[in-house]
């Protein structure tokens, strides 16, 4: 077995452990809140921002009014709206979460620490326990990867699983979603 295959096997096992650890009640609440939200806004910093972008794109493809916080087309937030804090872990998240709550929005934190500062700021939490901090403190599932790589990677996969669940819940097909995909990149017209 090559070193690549060895690392790939270990990392896939880490992902499986984190993703299968997410409580069903957290997923069910997340789906329900997304479905009832008038507008969904998602915030992520650094590599968690990559998951944010992919998630917002797929929500838009499904027909949800979804935006990235701080994008130039992001509207104001208020009652009936949902803020999703991807990896809530810094003071910047605290500020954004407080502002959203002050405006009357529902706030969700996706974090390994539901009892931490960001979990307490949120109206509800999705517990994703992948290592976010060096040394995997406080119940984070440890990783052989550096820093928060495991959390960041499983965030992307978790949110893609949520898209699959929303497709089932809302009766939305991939074909219907494809019709909302941009046609300016040439991808959808490749024959």
Q: Using alpha carbons, list the distances in angstroms from residue 156 to 56, 95, 152, 190.
A: 11, 23, 7, 26
d(Cα 158, Cα 152) in Å, to the nearest integer?
Answer: 10
Residue with tokens 């529902």: 106
Active site residue 33: no
d(Cα 106, Cα 104) in Å, to the nearest integer?
Answer: 7
d(Cα 100, Cα 79) in Å, to the nearest integer?
Answer: 9
Coil, strand or helix: which one is 75? coil
Residues β-bridged to residue 109: 85, 125
Residues β-bridged to residue 110: 86, 126
Residue from 52, 68, 140, 152 carrying the catalytic annotation: 152
22 phi and psi angles, rounded to 5 deg: -65, 125
Question: Which positions are catalytic?
Answer: 152
């Amino acid at each position: 077995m090559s070193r690549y295959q060895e690392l790939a096997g270990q990392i896939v096992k880490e992902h499986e452990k984190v993703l299968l650890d997410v409580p069903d009640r957290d997923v069910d609440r997340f789906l329900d809140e997304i479905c009832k939200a008038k507008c969904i806004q998602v915030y992520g910093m650094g590599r968690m921002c990559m998951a944010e972008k992919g998630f917002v794109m797929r929500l838009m493809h499904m027909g949800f009014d979804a935006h990235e916080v701080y994008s130039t087309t992001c509207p104001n937030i208020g009652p009936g709206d949902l803020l999703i804090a991807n990896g809530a872990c810094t003071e910047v998240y605290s500020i954004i979460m407080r502002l959203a709550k002050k405006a009357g929005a529902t706030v969700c934190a996706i974090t390994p620490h539901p009892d931490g500062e960001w979990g307490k700021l949120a109206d509800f939490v999705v517990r994703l326990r992948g290592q976010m901090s060096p040394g995997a403190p406080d119940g984070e599932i440890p990783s052989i990867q550096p820093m928060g790589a495991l959390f960041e990677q499983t965030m992307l996969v978790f949110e893609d699983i949520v898209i699959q669940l929303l497709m089932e819940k809302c009766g939305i097909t991939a074909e219907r979603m494809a019709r909302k995909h941009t046609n300016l990149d040439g991808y959808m017209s490749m024959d």
